[in-house]
Structure 1
Amino acid sequence: MVQEKKLVQNVSGWLRIYDDGSVDRTWTGPPEAKFMAEPVPPHEEFIDGVATRDITVAESNRSVRLYLPEITSADKEKLPVVVHFQGGGFCISEPDWFMYYNMYTRFARAARFICVSPFLRCAPEHRLPAAIEDGFSTLLWLQSVAKGESKELWLEKHADFSRVFLIGDSSGGNVVHEVAALAAIPVHPGFLRSTRSKSELEKPQSPFLTLDMLDNFLALALPVGSTKDHPITCPMGEAAPPLSGLKLPPFLVCLAEMDLIWDTEMEYYEAMKKANHDVELFVSKGMTHSFYLNKIAVDMDPNTAAETEALIARVKEFIEKH
């Protein structure tokens, strides 16, 4: 008789862990939102002005998704490259999920860049710093393509490797800080402390960020025995290297006014300013964590749609400036 496995942990409908160590990331929240966490197959033909391709990087044996906007007569030069690191508390999400496909096809089309989005390894099967290592290996691979040591036709033909930007949302923003190369855009980065902040206690939870996710995803992702004060989750803390001693690129920190972790995100921004780094701030008024990934809200609520467009425009401005 086969013994039925038992559920050990369930995190906000996004992730379940069983007593045999297996992990299930099937969305169990409202069924009308399930489509946002389903993969979109790659298509090398241009659909709504963007083509996508999945490739395997031989050096790391990791997959990377590329988003290429259709080249037009208005593109006088090769396009900048934006390396995107997905969020999800280091435990869930993939760059081919619809929520990212929808957002990064819009980004690539509007801001005129090639998006390179690696499939970062997820915890708890792969605890940190696995995702950081995957992000850094993606930069090394881009460098090898730029030098002609590796082949990727879209990048060789259309990419301007002198303009490489890093962008990451939520925990992907933490990856941005760790692997920053030329210019970086953390969007609603998951910077925290072990003690609850005022915003965590007072601001609204959403399907994209609950206190349950904050606590449990990071407990599963961080090295065993670590707390949220770890340098990856708290780069402005005492356990992290002093920000003043780091050689960092220009940063655009994008925050949401009603984000649960607003206080510690702002603490990071203020610490970067105090350390005399080139850092800019953009705030989406009245919005919650990762609001722009919620296609239902973007389609149905004019304010969410407007703030999403404003975010895209600000990222585009930052890329053009640098």
Structure 2
Amino acid sequence: MDSVRSSTSEVAHEFLPYFRAYKDGRVERYFGTTDIVPPSLNSHNGISTKDVQIFQVEGLTARVYMPSTISQGQKLPVMVYYHGGGFFMGSPFCATYHNHVASLVAEACIVAVSVDYRLAPEHPVPVGYEDSWVALQWVISHFNGDGPEAWLREYADFQRVFLVGDSIGGNIVHNMAARAGVEGLAAGVRIAGACLVQPYFAMKESAGTGVEDRSWLFSCPTTSGFDDPRVNPAEDSRVSRLGCSKVLIFLAENDDIRERGLLYYETLKKSGWEGEIEIVETEGEKHVFHLFNPNCEKALALLKRLASFINQDKAT
């Protein structure tokens, strides 16, 4: 009995204080599964939310946000948000991400779709990327008044679609914009901008045993490693074909993966991509500081800068 108990409790992977996986297949997530915020119409902060199933793909859902007060016929920019968490944790429904996206919706006056892509190890990469693409296609399916979600049909301006994500979500943003550039989008739909907030990318020369790199190897067991073009922009032939017109990258001075964000910036800048690229660095802060200290002055400045990025692009 003791040997059975020992084998079932043996840890295979852990990224404390957020995650632990056991050799018997059990997974314990300590971030993204607690402190869940239910959807609400006309909440106290003036934002309405609802949860939706996407294309009947089992386990692929999203939370949709919009300002509670909006004029009939008014068209708002659309933000598709991809949360961080190394592909193995995080959720649009936990307070951290719910509050962050709701604050962005309130500040920028936009419609938002926060994607609940399926997580590793139960659903290893590339599932997270594929779910993210399916979700983007679901959003786009509402162009011209089609699609099942009334808020998107009635209020979304599909000439002003923005992709936003933090950490591995920033990496997803790149991959979605790159795929859009290669495969194209429905006529009349435009990804106006992409914002990568302290994104995770790999660098062969500095890859190591840090939690971010271990997370990638854990979440994508079939990867070639740190030369995988999905995580190493220097190896990604799609960079020059990025399917948006503007890119904004946020870095944090004391972030362990700050250099990877700089690599992305330099790679994109040299690639021949013809869009506009800007980089903004927050001094003295660590990785995703704005999520865990959202009311500090620097987090509020980041929020306002991102809202400005979305709103500077007007329909033409």
Do the structures match in fold with TM over 0.5? Answer: yes
Partner of 1:311: 302
TM, length-normalised to structure 2:
0.85
| Equivalent-residue separation in structure 1 for 2:74 and 2:306 (angstroms) | 19
Q: Are the counterparts in 2 of residues 89 and 213 from structure 1 also a CA contact under 8 Å?
A: no
Partner of 1:249: 245
Give SS of 2:245's match: coil
> Could you say if the C-alpha distance between residues 87 and 78 of structure 1 is closer, same or farther in structure 2, counting changes exceeding 3 Å?
same
| Equivalent-residue separation in structure 2 for 1:219 and 1:265 (angstroms) | 19
* Letter aligned with residue 45 of structure 2: D
How many residue pairs match? The answer is 293
* Letter aligned with residue 193 of structure 1: M
| Equivalent-residue separation in structure 2 for 1:225 and 1:145 (angstroms) | 34
| Equivalent-residue separation in structure 1 for 2:121 and 2:85 (angstroms) | 12
- Cα distance, 1:110 vs. partner? 0.7
Q: Are the counterparts in 2 of residues 40 and 96 from structure 1 also a CA contact under 8 Å?
A: yes
> Could you say if the C-alpha distance between residues 83 and 242 of structure 1 is closer, same or farther in structure 2, counting changes exceeding 3 Å?
closer
Partner of 2:232: 234
Q: Are the counterparts in 1 of residues 33 and 90 from structure 2 also a CA contact under 8 Å?
A: no
Give SS of 1:287's match: coil
| Equivalent-residue separation in structure 2 for 1:71 and 1:45 (angstroms) | 8
TM, length-normalised to structure 1:
0.84
Counterpart pick for 1:224 among 222, 225, 241: 222
| Equivalent-residue separation in structure 1 for 2:23 and 2:176 (angstroms) | 34
* Letter aligned with residue 269 of structure 1: Y
* Letter aligned with residue 318 of structure 1: F
Partner of 1:89: 86
> Could you say if the C-alpha distance between residues 256 and 76 of structure 1 is closer, same or farther in structure 2, counting changes exceeding 3 Å?
farther
Note if 1:263 corresponds to 2:259: yes
Partner of 1:114: 111
Identity %: 33
The runs of at least 4 consecutive aligned structure 1 residues that moved more than 6 Å come to none
5+ residue gaps, structure 1, are 28-34, 201-210, 300-304
> Could you say if the C-alpha distance between residues 109 and 248 of structure 1 is closer, same or farther in structure 2, counting changes exceeding 3 Å?
closer
* Letter aligned with residue 28 of structure 2: D
> Does 248-257 or 48-57 show the bigger shift?
248-257
| Equivalent-residue separation in structure 2 for 1:156 and 1:150 (angstroms) | 7
Give SS of 2:142's match: helix
| Equivalent-residue separation in structure 1 for 2:199 and 2:73 (angstroms) | 33
| Equivalent-residue separation in structure 1 for 2:243 and 2:149 (angstroms) | 30
Q: Are the counterparts in 2 of residues 36 and 98 from structure 1 also a CA contact under 8 Å?
A: no
Cα deviation, 1:46-99, whole Å, max 9, x if unaligned, reads 3211111101123534211011122256x9931111000000011110111111
| Equivalent-residue separation in structure 1 for 2:242 and 2:70 (angstroms) | 39
- Cα distance, 1:261 vs. partner? 0.8
Q: Are the counterparts in 1 of residues 147 and 153 from structure 2 also a CA contact under 8 Å?
A: no
Note if 1:179 corresponds to 2:176: yes
5+ residue gaps, structure 2, are 181-190
Q: Are the counterparts in 2 of residues 37 and 99 from structure 1 also a CA contact under 8 Å?
A: no
- Cα distance, 1:255 vs. partner? 1.1
Q: Are the counterparts in 2 of residues 12 and 213 from structure 1 also a CA contact under 8 Å?
A: no
Partner of 2:27: 23
* Letter aligned with residue 321 of structure 1: Q
Cα deviation, 1:192-248, whole Å, max 9, x if unaligned, reads 223427xx9xxxxxxxxxx6421321111124252122111112x23x215235554
- Aligned counterparts, 1:1-322, within 5 A: 3-4=4-5, 5-6=8-9, 7-27=11-31, 38-61=35-58, 62-72=60-70, 77-180=74-177, 181=180, 182=191, 183-196=193-206, 212-235=210-233, 237-238=234-235, 240-241=236-237, 243-277=239-273, 278-294=276-292, 297-299=293-295, 305-322=296-313
| Equivalent-residue separation in structure 1 for 2:290 and 2:34 (angstroms) | 14
- Cα distance, 1:148 vs. partner? 3.7
